[in-house]
Amino acid sequence: MKPAPFEYHRPASLAETFDLLDRYGDEGRLLAGGQSLVPTLNMRLVTPRAVIDINRLPGLGEIRAQGEGLVIGALVRQEALERSALVAARAPLIAAAVRHVGHAAIRARGTLGGSLALADPAAELPACAVALGATIRAGSRGGTRDVAAGDFFRGIYTTALRPGEVITEVAVPGAAGWRWEFDELARRHGDFALAGLAAGVRLDGRAVAEARLVFFGVGTRPVRARAAEAALTGRAAAADVPAAARALDGDLDPPGDIHGSPALRRHLARVLLARVVRRLAGEAP
């Protein structure tokens, strides 16, 4: 299929981008990697009056150190995240997760900002942003606004972005003393996850001093499993996996669809929890 006719614009600056967003409002769509937008255009699921191609905007494609953490530009390709030594050293959770995003051709074009702005509940990078306590920076004509990743995702394809705003970069804080692991279960590699988990623990000896467990594919947005985190905290991590798995019943209310029932997704979430926590505790490869 072919898309419905639309106007194409390629702004050279953020100021020009804001002008175009003001002009077209809800009838304009931003094009970054295009891995989600182009298929929906071709299937005529969306029929915007204008497509605003932001790929040439300067300064949004960089990865740089900030303190002990990172700042990642919104237009950084997923392939660049996968290959970056700086990301591997300072945000290993992202480096591990991005390998699960689609296939190499998709990662070559897909961007960090595009994935976050789309807010697909089965996507890997939004869950990582929440687990890492990242800050998402949105630019507009009025300036820059910081939004905590935990507050950014509101539901299926719904975020805290306001009209006229564009994600410009993501700040990932340093996490000295934390261990991170990522895993997901899908029917085939590259498919959307039936369930996934981005997780980290800070250990005090063998006991968990603090835990973050963020599931995806099991709700309308990334789900932080706070009851399961509490079940792990203060105890040896692997020893309390059964208690944490039972606590997931209060944390997760997964939907059912043609790919899997709620019961299946709960089961897969427990499987992931056991795998990931044991790796974090150093008891599994």
The separation between CA 71 and the C-alpha centre of its own chain, rounded to angstroms, equals 15
The separation between CA 100 and the C-alpha centre of its own chain, rounded to angstroms, equals 12
Number of neighbouring beta carbons within 10 Å of residue 85: 9
What are the structural domain ranges in the chain?
A: 7-53, 63-172, 178-280
Using CA atoms of 24, 30, 217, 137 in order, give the dihedral in degrees to the nearest 10: -100
Alpha-carbon span 177 to 217, nearest angstrom = 28
Tokens of 137: 């920076």
Query: Following DSSP, what letter does each residue of 6-73 receive, concatenated?
Result: -EEE--SSHHHHHHHHHHHGGGEEEESS-TTHHHHHHTTS---SEEEE-TT-TTSS-EEEETTEEEEE
Residue 213 near residue 178, CB atoms below 8 Å? no
Residue 238 has what pLDDT?
A: 67
What is the phi/psi pair of residue 95, to 5°? -60, -40
Q: What is the pLDDT along the chain (285 residues), one digit of tens a residue?
A: 788 999 999 999 999 999 999 999 999 999 999 999 999 999 999 999 999 999 999 999 999 999 999 999 999 999 999 999 999 999 999 999 999 999 999 999 999 999 999 999 999 999 999 999 999 999 999 999 999 999 999 999 999 999 999 999 999 999 889 999 999 999 888 888 999 999 999 988 878 889 999 999 999 999 999 999 999 998 776 667 888 999 999 999 999 888 889 999 999 999 999 999 989 987 655
pTM: 0.94
Alpha-carbon span 278 to 271, nearest angstrom = 11
Domain 63-172 has CATH 3.20.20.150: no
CATH placement of domain 178-280: 3.30.390.50
Distant-in-sequence, close-in-space partners of 23: CB < 8 Å, separation ≥ 6: 50
Which CATH architecture best describes the domain 7-53? 2-Layer Sandwich (3.30)
Q: What is the pLDDT of residues 234-278, one digit of tens each?
A: 877 666 788 899 999 999 999 988 888 999 999 999 999 999 998
